[in-house]
Amino acid sequence: MSASPSSASYGDHWDDGTIYKCGRNGNFPLCLYYNSNLKGAKVGIFGKVYNYEYHQSCEGCFSYFYEEGSTLDGYGQDVKNNAASVYNYNDTSTRVFFNSGYTGPADEFDPYGWGTYFGNLEATYNDNASQARVCGEC
């Protein structure tokens, strides 16, 4: 599950960083959970995010936060340095990085339905700052 960043392509997509409801509803985000074992509040973020502290697709929004599950642990908390588990609904592998800018130790999750596409973070458990899809043509 953990990966060492390589010279992989992280692609650019018009809706990178956009928030979507978790699930396969046509948007295929990486769903980040506040607690281990896919529990607690969650948020679905598509594609790459340079820094969870700055919401790149929402003018005036300052950070990504857990916005699904208003009665669950972590609701309203910042995603940066607060993610414990993920579910990758995307069709490409996705990495969660320790540092902003897609650097440092990373946890990689396989495409939806293949191998390890969900689980607890290890190298970036509650110490996560950015994410990116790992793909050749995206």
Parallel, antiparallel or unpaired: strands 2-3 and 30-35: unpaired
18: its two tokens: 């956009």
82: its two tokens: 């607060």
**SS3 label, residue 12:** coil
Could you say which DSSP state residue 5 is in? -
> pLDDT tens, position by position, for the chain (138 residues)?
555 555 456 666 667 888 999 999 878 999 999 999 999 999 999 999 999 998 766 666 678 999 999 999 999 999 999 999 999 999 999 999 999 999 999 999 999 999 999 999 999 999 999 999 997 656
pTM (2 d.p.): 0.87
- The alpha carbon torsion through 118, 121, 123, 125 (nearest 10 deg) reads 160
Could you say which DSSP state residue 65 is in? B
Find the radius of gyration of the CA atoms of the chain: 13
Nearest-angstrom CA–CA distance, 66 and 99: 19
Could you say which DSSP state residue 86 is in? E
